[in-house]
Structure formats: C-alpha cells, structure tokens
Structure 1
Amino acid sequence: MDIHAFSDPVAAYGDRRLPEPARPAGYAALITDFDLSVPLPATLSAIAERHRVYEQGSWRIFGPRYAPDPTLEGHLVFALKNEGLDLCVLKRLFDKASRRDLEAMISAKPGSAYMRRIWFLFEWLTGERLDLDDAPPVGAYADVVDTDQQYAAEAKTSTRHRVRNNLPGDREFCPLVRRTPAIDAFRSMKLDEKARKITGAVSNSVLARAAAFLLLKDSRSSYAIEGEAPSHSRIQRWGKAIGQAGQYPLDAEELLRLQRIVMGDARFVRLGFRDEGGFVGDHAPDTRIPLPVHISARHDDLESLVGGLIAFNARHGGGLDPIIAAAVLAFGFVYIHPFADGNGRIHRYLIHHVLAERSFSPRGMAFPISSVIFDRMDDYRHVLESYSERLLPVIEWRPTEKMNVDVLNETADFYRYFDATPHVTFLYECVQRTIEHDLPEEVAFLERYDRFRAAIGKEIEMPDSTIDLLFNFLRQNGGKLSKRAREKEFAALRPHELARVEALYSEAFSAPEE
C-alpha cells in the first residue's frame, strides 16, 4: 500500500515547526496518511536533503539515504528501525489498515525480523489473528522490543511468529521507556547498593529514628504537594501506610484501602472508583466550564486499565529496573486517575510500593521522594505535562450539568501506551538526591545530635526534654543562646556553663565530618 503523505518537503507539521524543510517519515507519515487520532510522539522523524542526522527540538532529521519507500511497509520498518515502538500509534494504525495488505506484506517476506515483529504486534495489540500460517521453524528469533532503543522485560517466546515477547506489560497496560544515556548512567550508579552501604554503617537506634523522621517528612510533603495541611494524626496515619509499602499485594482492594486512609473524613468525598468523568484543572470563573490541564481515563475503561496496572506490577514489571517499573506504574496510575480524590498521594505511594517490593530501598526505610518532589514542583509539573499536553488535543469532550467532563471518543489506548522516559529520568533524579543527600544528611545530623546530648549530660545534669529545648534554641540562633533564653528558660546556667554549652554545640555541629 502506497503512502501519499509528504511527497514534498514541508516547513511545519501541525503546530510543530521543522528545523529545516523536510518530509516527515515513519510514525509522522503514518499518522497523517491514516488520519490517526493519537497523542503525537514526543520526537518525530523527517527526511531532509542534506546528508546528516541530528536532533533539534521535537524532531530527528535524517539525510536522504535514510528515506523509506513511500509504502506502509517502508514507513513501518523505518519507524521500528529508527524510532522504536509506539504502541498507541501501532494499535490505531492496525485498527485502520487493511488486513489483506498486512497479510500480503508479511507473507512476502517470511524471513524478515521486522515483518515477524509487525505480525506479532498486530495480533497482540488487536487480539485478532491474521490469516497466516505459523512462521517456518528456521532462522533466529527476534526480540519484539529492540533493547538498544527501549527497556524491556524478561522474554517469552512466541513460536507462531518466531519472536521473543519482551514487552514489559500486556495489552491492557504497557507504557515503554526509551533507552537514554542519562537513564543508563543512573542505572550504573547502583543507588540501591549506596543506600544499603549508608544504612549498614549506622547504629540501629540512629537508623530507626532517621527512618521515622524521613517517613513523616514524606507523608507531610505528599499532602503539601496537593496544597493540603492536614492534622498531625492524619499525616502520621498516612506515614504508617507508606511504612507498610510493599507488604501487601497490589490489587483493587488495596487501592481502595489506601484511598480510605488518604481521605480520612470522607463525608464530602465519594470513595471508590469513579462512575463519571474526571479532570485536573480549574473552572472558568464566569461560566464554570471546565478548564482541564489533564483529562482522566473514561470511567467505563477503569476496570481494564486498573487491571492492567495490577498485572504490570504482579507479572510484567519484575524484569525491569525497579526505578523504571516504579515510574511506569505510578505515573500510569496518576494519568488514569481512577478516583475522584486521593490519586496524587496514592500515585506517590506506588513508588514506595515498588521500591520496597523489589528490595531497592533498605528494609524499613522509605526514601522521602515526596519531599524532593515538593522542592521541585515546577519540574514535577513539567514531567506530568510532558504527556498531558499531547493527550488533551486528541480527547473529545463536553461539559456535564455538574461541570465535569464527558469524554466522547475512545481513549483507553492513550492511557495504556505512553512514553514514560521523562518520568523515569525525573524519578531517578529524585531517588539519587534522597540517597546521596537526604539520607546521609539525616543520619549525620542524628549522630551529631547524640554527641551533643551526651556531652551536655556529662557536664550538666538536665532532663532530655530540657536538652532538646536547649538544642532548639541554639539551632535557631546560629549556635548562640539568645538573650531571652539566657534570662528565662536557662537563667539557672552559670556564665561558664553558658559558654561551655555553646562550645559543645559548635564542636558537634560546626566541625566537619571525618
């Protein structure tokens, strides 16, 4: 089948300007020629006249020798060879393409690894069987996911197609992550080993206190991200749930349990999975019309999408790097947005769940991911919007009487298959900071504090609670007791004792660590 799009170079593709006049190729050509309503890939490809390959903005430009044949086969093979798998585009393409054209294309080249991969992907994505005999038992098996391009899970062979299915999910939920130098560099750091080395060198009492503090810090920050300042008891209750992450199987009942804990007093919030539309955003001040920045999955699709999430965690994510698996699961959940409220905090909980379940985080220790996210809110929003901004233009919706959104087109594929590369990079950055900075800094602080408290106890008899108060005054005033503290709370200290207290604080907290 011939592809008629872009016989001549163009300067723009939709609202995306090209770096130079070029002919869009691969997925860009297929999307246009088949009129596919899909979120555009973050990076598109095009063929220019100059003999060089480069990336600029949202484009990867190839020289003329890379130009594919202007056919379905040509652009499909170009996409698989140069752009990796975009399962959403492929699913919508297979829904529209002629079965006879696909069968003729595949049967003409039974030995081609690209044809066998396309054949497998068609049947896997659509659940339909092409009228083709099983592949002859000759030649090497081909990986469905090219691991030089994208990260994959443990492979299972498909003898019908003579391929190894190393997709990291099933057809209900299978986001993919591009292989990048940044992510490869993070993986080589072995951050989990660094964390275990830090905690292994710390006394049990200090470690327990550090874990408790970081847990509370994460719980408080997770609410702060949502703009909430709940009671201390509610923060502690959610912190306790985070501390139990990874201990219970992830299923629908577990998600509902977590929502109940998150929401606390639910008199004004409907608990359970949504039975109507949902969106993230505001309402127009005059008309109350929804102004979404993200539209949630249709409630009709929640059963299969949530089931896909659960299956990914239970069966498929295990072969992936734990950070990759955690990012895919957590950001997939927040894009689906299955609840009316509580989605953001459960989304961040799922990161802890995967890291604990896969033994990435030390036993009993929850990295304060939410605290880092709260410090990097602009980056966090940018990561969330990296997909939402491409998703919104292809969702057709209308406002409801309650000023919610009613989605009119089929959108489930948009939440099943997305590129989670920026989400993985961001999560790795957050985890790196918690392990290389937050965790050792908290441990060092507690060790210094213990030295200060022990030194005070040797020289001046005072209760632990009074030492705590003394420490807080010193910390708030740069290591010096304020005039108010000298005259009131610690008026009983003699002048030489006051000087000694300040000196002990300086020894404990000003001297560099060995």
Structure 2
Amino acid sequence: MKKVVFQSRPAGYTYLLSKCDIAGMPHWHTSIVSPGAHKLNVHNGIVEEIYPIKYWPGEEIGNQLEFALKYDGTSLGILAQIFSKVVIEDLTEYIKSKPTGKYTRRIWFFYEFITGEILPIEDLATGNYVDALDPQEYYTIKNGYKSQRHRIVNNLLGTRKFCPTIRKTEELARHIESDLRKRYEDVVALYSPELIRRAFSYLYSKETKSSFEIERVTPNATRIEKFISSLTLAENEDFCEKERLIELQNMIVDSRFRESDYRQNQNYVGQTLTYQKEIIHYISPKPEDLKDLMEGLIDCHQLMKTGGISPVIHAAAIAYGFVYLHPFEDGNGRIHRFLIHNILSVQGLTPKGLIFPISAVMLKKPKEYDASLEAFSKPLLKLIDYQMDELGQMTVKSDSAHWYRFMDMTAQALALYKFLIQTVEEELAEELSFLKSYDSAKKSVQSIVDLPDRLIDLFVHLCLQNNGKLSAKKRSTYFEFLTDDELTAMEQAVKNSF
C-alpha cells in the first residue's frame, strides 16, 4: 500500500481565510504545519512559524480557530470575517463538545462580542474565569467586566463598535519601562523656570504651525491663535466627545468648511495626476457606518481612561483611530495630532503647563509619519471595493466597517513612542539649549555695547543667518554706528555663545 506523505499546509488564520474564501488584513503571525523541525522565519516584522506534523489541528473550523488563538494570537478583524462565513451549527457543536476549554470559551465569547448574536448554548454555571486577551501578550483593561455566561473577563480595549488591539512587543515594553515623563522632566530640570516659560510659549506656536504645515495648509493668524488656545485647554479638558470634537473642528478649519455633525459623504485621500485620473491613498469608512464607529471610539476612550492603560498606548489607539475614521471633511489630521496632546495631558504624562511639540518631529520625519499611517491604510486599500464617477465622487460597494472596527494598532503605538522620545531628546532639548545660548549671546553683546533689546535681537538673528557674521549690507542698513572693534567683539560673542 502506498504511504501518504503529509505535505506542508497552512494552519490557523491562513487556513481559515483560504477555506472561507475571504481576504484578510496582513497578520503579524502566520502558521504552517510541515514535516521537519520547528522553525521561525521573520521578514519585515511578519513572523512565519513552521510547526512539526504533530501540531496539525485537523480540518474542523473549531479546531483551526483554537489553533489560531493559541499560536497566531487574536485578530478581531479576521475573526469577524471568519464568523460571517462559518456554519453556526458547526461552531455551536464544537463549543458544546468542550464548553469549559479556555480557547473554546474565548471563541464563544468573541463570536457573540463581535457579531452581537447569541449562540444556542446554555450559560456556564461553574468554572474559573479566564481573560479574553492574555495580559502577557496584549495591552488590556484592568478589572474588566466579567461575562458570567462564558466565564470570561472582558479586558478588551473597546466595545463591539470599535475595539483596537495592541500587542506587547519587546520594543514597546522597553519604551513603556523607560518612563517618558521622567526623561521629559530630566531635560527640563537643566534650565531655569523663566527660560522654560519662554520656550513653551514658543513651542505652543511651533506645534500649531507644524500641525498645519504637515497638511500643507497656511492658516491666518486668527486660526493659529484659536489652535494655540485649544492646546492650552488640552491639559485640563477632555475633548474626546462628539460635541467637543465638532467644536474643535469649527475652531481650526476655514469658516466655510465648519460642520455641525459627522460627514454625510464618502471621503478619501487621493492625489490627482491628470483629468479623471487619481491615485487613491486611503478610503474612509462609509458615512452610514460612521455614527457607530465614532460612538465606539468615544466609548473606547472612556474605557481606557479609567482602565489603567499606558497614556501613550491610549493616545495611539484613539488619535490614530480618529484619523482613520475621518469623521469630518476637513481638519481630521490636525484633530488627530491634537488628541495626542489631549490624552497625554489628561492621563498625566505631560507635566502641567508643558507640551510635547510632536508635530514638529512628525514634520521633520515625514517618511516615518507616513509609514505609521500606512501601516493600516495601505493594506486596507486592497480590500475595499469602490468605484469613482466622472466628478470624482466615490462609492464604496463592499461591506468594510469591520476593518475599521477591529484594528491592530501595534505599529502606530510603537511609532508614537518613537516620535515622543525624539520630541523630548531632540526637539525639546534643542529648543531649550538654543534659548539658553541665545540669552547668553544677548547678555554678552549688551556687555560690549548697551543697545536696546530690539537691536540686540536683530543683531543676533542676523549673525545666526550668516554663519556668525554680520553682512556688510546689513551693517550699513542697521548697524552703521558700530566701530570695527565693537562689531568684531559682538560677532565673536555670538559665536562663543552658540
């Protein structure tokens, strides 16, 4: 009799997606069962894990789901797709066959959490509670709601309307343990309170202008002042509620584009090449899905606000979630960056009266910022079925809400940490150092010639523009009264200070 040789086969999510004939977002972990030893291949952050034959779970949906949760982790977005295709009777039979199993109960809980449908299974009467997500592997809500029906602790970050997941990677864990607030305070402690006060007055303005500049918007003075005013309120008031978000949108956009509710049209981010030819970079949720999604985002914010979540994890989930939902026609990017400040302040990471000028770092590192946005937007494009009419109006034809509902935001959380570290150690440190040098230069110049403050500022400014020297033209225009010796000494004072 001819021996049957076991061939390499996908398992877990990859198997299930293929069996159900559905496309899914790229997942960080894929599994293969194959003859031979256990192996790991890692490429561009995607782990391909090869398991020996003894790991093969069989063909049944329930066994493959259990394998996926055990080895591939929890992807609510992929589970939503799979649950929409499974035969309910098969899933119910599998759960009833071992109702007290840890992974079985999770599958049961996730099905009812995601779909809102109740399976024909009796509530569990006894048994220990297990967490919906393993807190060793995911950032989770502390003291989550106990679902007695499944004997599951619901420690998810959100609700079925909007529920991101963020994995506890080694790199993220290192950043959280580094105590960002202490690093911030260590930098600030090197300077006088007066200098810090001046620096942050400037940084509020710089943060505002950088946030507009990222989107290539040139605001007038009134809009700049309104945005600065909002930033100063961010440390005390929670803006993540519908009325406040609309109020904020009205403050920062051109008066002609103010909105009184979430958008009613399909919008997208694109780049026009020629007439009726456009490159699409991102497609927002359908307007009919937006109300539920935004309610979910706000509920998710409230859960994390009291759930013992790291402020940066919290800010990443809500701020990036907001910009992906794109609830307004205009102003979404600026509100997204504003929400980072708002949440970091409300959660106590940012010291009172201070600010992280994070938009300035994002502006300096556009590739890294774009990459953080594209971690979700780029693969999403391949899954959205849409059409454009001759006027550039888009219609999304496919059901897409689940992709926005259940996002893996690990990449965005890591990116935000990196931006904040660069903000503290580069942008903030450089600004404070510059001001200290500037004060030193002014004091030294004034000790040579007792000029009015206005002229000292002008002199230092013009020297810095010209590699430490005052040009002949600027001298004749503004400083003709200086002797050659005074000019030489003043230029040297500026050079010494910087």
If the TM-score is normalised by the length of the shorter chain, which range does it land in? Answer: over 0.9
Q: CA deviation at 1:241?
A: 1.9
Taking the aligned partners of 1:246 and 1:75, their CA distance within structure 2 comes to 47
Q: How does 1:248-267 map to 2 (within 5 A)?
A: 248-249=237-238, 250-266=240-256
CA contact (8 A) 1:226 1:344 kept: yes
List aligned pairs for 1:358-369, cutoff 5 A: 358-369=347-358
Q: Distance in 1 between matches of 2:101 and 2:273?
A: 55
TM-score in terms of structure 2 length: 0.92
Secondary structure of 1:96's counterpart equals coil
Q: For residues 291 and 457 of structure 1, do their structure 2 counterparts lie closer, same or farther at Cα, with a shift above 3 Å needed?
A: closer
Q: Deviations over 1:399-429 (max 9, x none)?
A: 2463221112221111011111111111111
Q: Hey, what does 2:10 align to over in structure 1? A: 24
Q: Is the 8 A contact 1:290 1:405 kept in 2?
A: no
How many angstroms apart in 1 are the aligned matches of 2:235 and 2:376? 28
Residue 478 of structure 1 deviates from its aligned partner by: 2.1
Q: Structure 2 CA distance, aligned partners of 1:390 and 1:236? A: 38
The aligned counterpart of 1:187 is: 176
State the 1:119 CA deviation: 1.5
Q: In structure 2, which of residues 19, 33, 41 is the aligned counterpart of residue 47 of structure 1?
A: 33
1:353 alignment partner AA = N
Preserved contact between residue 279 and residue 296 of structure 1 (Cα < 8 Å): yes
Show the counterpart of 1:13: none
| 2: CA distance, partners of 1:113 / 1:495 | 84
In the alignment, which of 454, 457, 466 is matched to residue 465 of structure 1? 454
Indicate whether 1:34 and 2:20 are aligned. yes
Deviates more, 1:311-320 or 1:185-194: 311-320
> Distance in 2 between the 1:50 and 1:216 partners?
61
Partner of 2:140: 152
Task: Answer whether contact 1:169 1:317 (CA < 8 A) is retained.
Answer: no
- Give secondary structure in 1 for the equivalent of 2:436: helix
Q: Which amino acid aligns with 2:263?
A: R
Percent identity over the alignment is: 33
Matched, 1:346 2:335: yes
**Alignment check: 8 A CA contact 2:305 2:347 kept:** no
Q: Deviations over 1:371-417 (max 9, x none)?
A: 11111112222222222222122212222463221112221111011
Report the equivalent of 1:274: 263
- 1:129 is aligned to 2:115: no
Deviates further, 246-255 or 110-119? 246-255
Secondary structure of the corresponding residue to residue 418 of structure 1: coil
> 1:248 deviation in Å?
2.7
List per-residue Cα deviations over 1:34-80 (Å, max 9, x = no partner).
22344342443222333132133345121224332222122111111
On the 8 A contact 1:398/1:407 being kept in 2, the answer is yes
Please say if residues 324 and 424 of structure 1, whose CA atoms lie closer than 8 Å, have aligned partners that are also in contact: yes
Q: Does the 8 A contact of 2:141 with 2:303 survive in 1?
A: no
- Aligned partner of 1:227 in structure 2 is 216
Q: 1:255 to 1:365 in 2, by over 3 A?
A: same
CA deviations on 1:293-341 (whole Å, 9 max, x unpaired) are 2111000011111111111112235432111111111111111111111
Q: Which region of structure 1 is more displaced relative to structure 2, 409-418 or 317-326?
A: 317-326
CA–CA distance in structure 1, aligned partners of residues 280 and 186 of structure 2: 45
Q: Equivalent residue of 1:394, what SS?
A: coil
TM-score norm. by structure 1 comes to 0.89
Question: For the structure 1 residues 175 and 159, does the alpha-carbon distance in structure 2 shift closer, same or farther, using more than 3 Å as the test?
Answer: same
1:98-497 to 2 correspondence within 5 Å? 98-138=87-127, 140-154=128-142, 155-249=144-238, 250-266=240-256, 272-283=261-272, 285-286=274-275, 288=276, 291-318=279-306, 319-400=308-389, 402-497=391-486
| 3-state SS in 2 of match to 1:344 | helix
SS across alignment from 1:111: coil
Distance 1:210 1:354 in 2: 22
Q: Please give the secondary structure, in 1, of the residue aligned with 2:153.
A: strand
Gaps of 5+ in 1: 1-6, 10-21, 510-514
Aligned residue for 2:84, secondary structure, equals helix
Report how far residue 350 of structure 1 moved: 1.2
Distance in 2, matches of 1:266 and 1:41, equals: 42
Separation in 1, partners of 2:354, 2:291: 32
- Structure 2, gaps ≥5 residues long: none
Structure 2 CA distance, aligned partners of 1:282 and 1:487?
48
User: Could you tell me how far apart the structure 2 residues matched to 1:193 and 1:95 are?
Assistant: 47
Find the aligned partners of 2:485 and 2:390 in 1 and give their Cα distance.
74
Match of 1:93 in 2: 82
The worse-fitting range, judged by mean Cα deviation, of 57-66 and 210-219 is 57-66
Q: Cα distance, 1:289 vs. partner?
A: 5.4
Q: Structure 1 pair 208/310, CA: closer, same or farther in 2 (3 Å)?
A: same
SS at structure 2 position matched to 1:36 = coil
> How far apart are 1:278 and its partner, in Å?
1.0
CA shift for structure 1 position 270: 6.1
What does residue 19 of structure 1 align with?
A: none
User: Which amino acid in the other structure matches residue 13 of structure 2?
Assistant: Y
| SS of residue paired to 1:160 | coil
Query: Is 1:505 aligned to residue 494 of structure 2?
Result: yes
Per-residue deviation, 1:284: 5.7
SS state at 1:447 partner: helix
Q: Secondary structure at the match of 1:493?
A: coil
CA contact (8 A) 1:335 1:415 kept: yes
Query: CA-atom RMSD, angstroms?
Result: 2.1
Name the SS for the 1:221 alignment partner: helix
In 1, distance between residues paired with 2:47 and 2:32?
Answer: 7
Compared CA separation, residues 333 and 416, structure 1 to 2 (3 A)? same
* Partners of 2:336 and 2:441 in 1: CA distance: 39
Total equivalences in the alignment:
488
Residues 153 and 317 in structure 1, CA contact (< 8 A), matched pair in contact too: no
What letter matches 1:371 in structure 2? A
Q: Which residue of 2 aligns with 1:3?
A: none
